[in-house]
Amino acid sequence: MTQTTVRTRTFVQALNEALDLAMERDPNVYLIGEDIGEMGGDFGVTRGLWAKYGEARVRDTPLSEAAIIGTAVGSAMMGFRPVAEIMFADFLGECYDQLVNNAAKMHYMFDGQFKAPIVVRTACGGGFGGGPHHSQSVEGWFLNVPGLVIVAPSTPADAKGLLLASIENDNPILFLEHKALYRIKGEVPEGYYTTPLRKAAVVREGKDVTIVATMKMVHEALAAAAELEQEGVSAEVIDLRTIRPYDAETVLESVRKTGRAVVVNEAPKIGGLASELSAVIGEECFYDLKAPVVRVAGLDAPIPFSLALEKIILPGKEQVIAGSSQRDEVGVLRGACSMARVAYCGCVLRELSRNTQHA
């Protein structure tokens, strides 16, 4: 990675820089989405680009996710490199067919005559009281779709480098941006650079347990690792960065070293990234493991508006610590608080349901 000056930037500013640099370098790159023009997007990621590049390359659209992605796919077939914004990841259901049955299968169906080099940026994740339709982590919806790449940065520097790499890539890419990370700050190199896709980062080295995470959960894992160190537990933290296809080699190498693995994912546990990673670790590292793989994930429930209830539903630092540090007499890792947390959440949700029915 060639770099000159390193500055402090927010996640949003890093994304904005990446889009600006990509559009400046390649006239075939254009932006499309709802309110991304003069308004600059719901989260300010495209701010200033409409004034600089004009409405032909920063295209405001009607409120139709299917139209946005359909337009992106069609123009990509003709040589353009669209970067589409879907305001909230929860709305990807509206354009699921365009992504899964058109974009992801384009290269295969036309035997390489056409491709769909589109990037679909979207805001995901909870923790801000957005409720059931604006807070979901959707990577599990797309994990088993061949031909689709899923990218999920956790730092401003990676947000910029991974977005530029995604725009250069000839595959359709779902670029997940966790809303809780938009305002975080970090060092970001100046100028054009790319961060390799499908390459995880070991963001903290350790020897006792491997913690694998993405996006906001990387920060929860790092906070947990800092506390675990005070208890004499050395945790290695891996930021997956690309979710599909993920860097299994880095994960497995770490697990073979530590002998223990905790996989952290904000989405519900069933059928998600945590399940996939734990299965691969179990298959490939069975004789290296000193204990079963622990999954730390969201509860199997819709995300409520209530911040107090949301903290129960979504995993955080305390759950990562519980999954990483508690052992029984034979040294098996286990999350001792999980059942109590589920039971408490069930009681709260049942009470909430009764109150709703009587309202």
Catalytic residue of the set 134, 178, 219, 358: 134
Distance CA 328, CA 246 (A): 32
19 φ, ψ to 5°? -65, -40
Tokens 């994740």 belong to which residue? 125
134 annotated active-site: yes
Q: Please, are residues 236 and 188 in contact by the beta-carbon 8 Å criterion? A: no
Strand partners, 173: 119, 149
Distance CA 265, CA 283 (A): 20
Q: Please, are residues 32 and 85 in contact by the beta-carbon 8 Å criterion? A: yes
Return the structure tokens found at 227: 């506390």
Return the structure tokens found at 105: 């299968």
Distance CA 125, CA 147 (A): 24
Return the structure tokens found at 298: 């969201």
Active site residues: 134
